[in-house]
Structure 1
Amino acid sequence: MALNLIDIPVQGGGWFKPKDNLNAVAILIEVHSFDRQRPTPNGPKDSILADVTVFQDAASLAAGTPQVTKGQRIEQTILARDLETIVGGATIVTLDQVPPKKPGAHPAWVWRPLNDADARTKVIAYANDREAKAEAAVADAPDFD
């Protein structure tokens, strides 16, 4: 009997901080769950639980050495709601800020699709290679039957 390993998404990766990833060349987000109005100490918030892979610069993208955080919470309202429809899927994006519409308000964080075809191809190649290595590791695991 083959083993069907499935990771249980847990929040072990803390919270996503957009300002730390503003200049990233590519961000791969694998969305596990969406919770509408999840209770928090700061009041209820829409929340995403995702694995976030950040390529901070062109060198990390070329080398395939991103910063990977499994089980990270994304609770910025617009960012979380934009990811609601892709639970169980993934997307490749960058971050941007939109100026506020009202004076004195804070700029809003928004996802932008990754338009650089070469960078997109490299992120997809990284993800495919990662999956192939995981499948190979499972195939090499001992069979106790």
Structure 2
Amino acid sequence: MPLNFVEIPTAGGGWFKPAEVKDAIAFLIEVNSYEHQRPTPNGPKDSALCDVTVFKDRESLDRLSPEVNKGMRVEQTLLARDLEKVVGGATIVTLAQVPPKRPGAHPAWVWRPCNDAVVRQKVIEYAEAREAALNAAVAEAPDFD
């Protein structure tokens, strides 16, 4: 019987901090799980556990060498809730801030679809190349049967 290897999602990638990557040209977000109102020290929060691939600039996109964060926790309210529908899948997005609806409130971070066709295609090329490399490694693995 062949083994079906599955990675257990862990939160080893820290927390997603939008302000640190706000200028990135694209994100490949692969959502592993979503928890509604997960208990935290700061009260319950909606939380998505994701693998976040960040293309910080045009050079990292052209070289297909992004920053990869496995098991990153996304807990900003709007960002996490948008990822609930993507569990088990992936999306290509950018970050934006929207003005607050109430005076004195902070602007909210939101995902925006990546509308640049060239950027989107390069991210897809990266994902396909990564998948092909994984499949090649599995095919080259010794068969002990």
Task: State TM-score, norm by structure 1.
Answer: 0.98
Paired residue for 1:6? Answer: 6
Which residue number corresponds to residue 16 of structure 1?
Answer: 16
1:58-137 equivalences in 2 (<5 Å) = 58-137=58-137
Question: Structure 1 residues 99-108 or 44-53, which shifts more?
Answer: 99-108
> Matched residues in 2 for 1:6 and 1:44: separation?
29
Q: Distance in 1 between matches of 2:6 and 2:135?
A: 12
Give the match's secondary structure for 2:13: coil
Question: Which amino acid in 1 is paired with 2:85?
Answer: T
Q: How many residues align?
A: 145
Instruction: Name the CA distance, whole Å, in 2 between partners of 1:3 and 1:34.
Output: 26
Q: CA RMSD in A?
A: 0.8
Q: Which amino acid aligns with 1:87?
A: V
- Deviation of 1:139 after TM superposition, in Å, equals 1.0
Superposed CA deviations along residues 75-107 of structure 1, whole A, max 9, x for unmatched, are 000000001011000000000000111111000
SS of match in other structure, 2:85: helix
User: TM-score, with normalisation over the residues of structure 2?
Assistant: 0.98
Percent of paired sites with the same residue:
68
Deviation at 1:143, TM superposition (A): 1.3
Say yes or no: does 1:31 pair with 2:38.
Answer: no
Instruction: Name the structure 1 match of 2:54.
Output: 54
Q: Give 1:57's aligned amino acid.
A: D
Q: Distance in 1 between matches of 2:94 and 2:39?
A: 28
1:130 is matched by which residue type in structure 2? Answer: R
Structure 2 unaligned regions, length at least 5: none
Find the aligned partners of 2:14 and 2:144 in 1 and give their Cα distance.
36
Gaps of 5+ in 1: none
